[in-house]
Structure 1
Amino acid sequence: MKLYGHPISTTTRPILLFAAEAQIPLDLVTIDLFAGDHLSPGFAAINPNRAVPVLEDGAFRLTEGSAILKYLAEHAGSPAYPAEPKARARVNALMDWFNTGFYRSFGYGLIYPQVLPDYAWPKAEMQAAALARAETEARRWFDVLDAHWLGAETWLGGAAPSLADYLGAVYVANGELIAFDLTPWPRVVRWTEAMKARPAWASVHTAFAGWCEMQRAARRYRIAA
C-alpha cells in the first residue's frame, strides 16, 4: 500500500505510528507541504482537496486520516478498532471528538497561528485576541479529556491502545511546538508519556521533533501558560 503524506504532518503521523505497530507495510510518498507540493496540479489529480494523507491500496484510493486508520485496522484485523458494536462506537466517538472541537481549538486556533504564517491573523491585536480565545477553549477540552475520557486505565480504549489513542496522542503532542504545558492535567500527562514510550513513537516523530527544536530556537510563539 502507498501513503501520500509528510512525516511532520499531524494527520500523517497517527497512520505511520499505527502502521508501524500493527506491522502494516506502507510505502510513504513524501508530499513536501512546506514547498507547496500538495497544491500542485499533479497532486490535485490524486486528491482534489489538496491535502494529505491519501492511501492507495491497488486501485482503491482513500482520503481523510481517520478513515485511513480505520481501513488499515480492518485490513489487519487489529483490536485497536474493536468489532463489538458498542466498543467500536466509543472509538468512533473519541476520534470524532478529537477531530472536531478539540483540535479546532487546540490545533487550528492556538498552535497553527503561532507556527504557520498562513494561519496567523493579519494584525497583532487580532492575533492576541484569537489566541486568548482559542487557549480558553483548548483548556476546556483538556479538562474534559482529563476528567472524563481518561479514567483509571492507561489508554482511552481501556487495557490497550485504540485508534483513538493513536490519533489523539499525536494531536496533543503538537502542543510541543508552542511549549504548551500539560501539567494541569495529570491523566493527560500519564497517557501521553505512555504513548511516547511505545516502540514506534520516536522513529515516527523524528522529523517532528526537529521542527519543535527549530520553534524553540526561534521562540516565535507565545508560550501558553
Structure 2
Amino acid sequence: MTLTLYMHPVSTVSRPVALFVAEKKLPITERVVDLMKGEHRGPEYSAINPNMQVPALEEGDFRISESSAILKYLASRFNLPEYPADLKERARVDMVMDWFNTGFYRDFGYGLLYPQIFPHHKRPSDEAQNVTVNWGKDKAKAALAILDKSILGTNDYVANNRISIADYFGIGLVTAGEIIGCTFAEYPNVQRWIANMKKLSTWESVNQVMYGFAGSMKDKTFERV
C-alpha cells in the first residue's frame, strides 16, 4: 500500500521525517504542501489533517500527523533499529523526543525563532515583541545547556549513545536556529552533535531549501544563541 508524506522542505518539523525517509531509503512518496500559498488550509489537505499543519502521513485510509508520531510509526513499521525494541532503550528515545517537543521547541521555536522570522508570529507591539524574544532566548539557552551537558555530555547521540529517531527529530528542531544565524558557540557538545548529524549522506539534499531560506535572511539582525 502506498505511503504518502505530506510535507514542506522548509518546515522545521517536516525536515526530520524527510531526512529519516531519505537516509533509510523508505518507499514513501513525498508531496509538498505549499505553505506559502496556503495550501495547508485548503479543503483537500484539511481533510487529511484537520490541524492544517505539516507533516502528515497517509497509508490507505490510515492517516497520522505530528512529526514525532510519524517517526515512531515508520521506524516500527519497517522494523528499524533507530527505534529500539528494548523497552528501556525505547523509553529513553521517547523521553528525549518528548523533551525536544516540549521543553525545547516551545521556547526555542515559538519564543525565539518564529516571532523574528514570520510576520504572523510577531507580537503586536515592540514591547511585547522584545519581552517574547528575550524570554524565548533565555529559556532556549537554559534548554541548550541541558542538551549540551546532561543529554549529550560526551555521547555522540542523544539516547543510548547510538543514532535514533530522537536524533533525527531533535536535529531538525535545533538546526532551525541556523535560519537566524545561531552558531551554538556556548554549547560545544551540541556543536559536535550537529556536525556529526550533518555527516548523514542525505543531509545536504534534504536541507537545501531550508538553507536557501536561511540565505535570504542573512542580512537581517536577530537575537541568537
* Structures share fold, TM-score greater than 0.5: yes
- The residue number in structure 1 matching 2:72 is 70
Q: Write out aligned runs for 1:31-110 (5 A).
A: 31-110=33-112
Match of 1:45, SS state, is helix
Conserved in 1, the CA contact under 8 Å of 2:7 and 2:32?
Answer: yes
- Which of 165, 170, 188 is the matching residue for 1:168? 170
Instruction: Name structure 2 gaps, 5 residues minimum.
Output: none
Q: Which amino acid aligns with 2:204?
A: A
Structure 2 residue aligned with 1:212: 214
- Alpha-carbon contact 1:38-1:44 (below 8 Å) kept: yes
Give the distance between the partners of 1:61 and 1:131, measured in 2 at CA. 35
Per the alignment, residue 122 of structure 1 pairs with 124
Q: TM-score, normalised by structure 1?
A: 0.96
C-alpha RMSD of matched pairs (Å): 1.1
Consecutive unaligned residues of structure 1, counting only runs of 5 or more, are: none
Indicate conservation of the 8 Å contact 2:133/2:223, yes or no: no
Residues 7 and 207 in structure 1, CA contact (< 8 A), matched pair in contact too? yes
Among residues 142, 145, 148, which one is paired with 1:143 in the alignment?
Answer: 145
- Please give the secondary structure, in 2, of the residue aligned with 1:2: strand
Q: Quick one: which amino acid aligns to residue 174 of structure 2?
A: V
What is the identity percentage for the equivalent residue pairs of Structure 1 and Structure 2? 42
The aligned amino acid for 2:46 is A
Within the candidate set 155, 158, 164, 1:153 is matched to: 155
The correspondence for 1:194, drawn from 188, 193, 196, is: 196
Once the two structures are superposed, what CA deviation does each residue of 1:76-116 show, in whole Å capped at 9, x if it has no partner?
21111000000000000000000002000000110000111
Amino acid at match of 2:107: S
TM-score, structure 2 as length reference: 0.96
Instruction: Give aligned pairs, total.
Output: 223
Q: List per-residue Cα deviations over 1:154-190 (Å, max 9, x = no partner).
A: 1113443111100101111011111123010000000
Deviations 1:25-73 (CA, angstroms, capped at 9, x unpaired):
2211111111111111221111111111110112211111111000100
For 2:223, the equivalent position in structure 1 comes to: 223
Is the partner of 1:3 in helix, strand or coil? strand
**Contact 1:22–1:76 (Cα < 8 Å) also in 2:** no
1:215 partner SS = coil
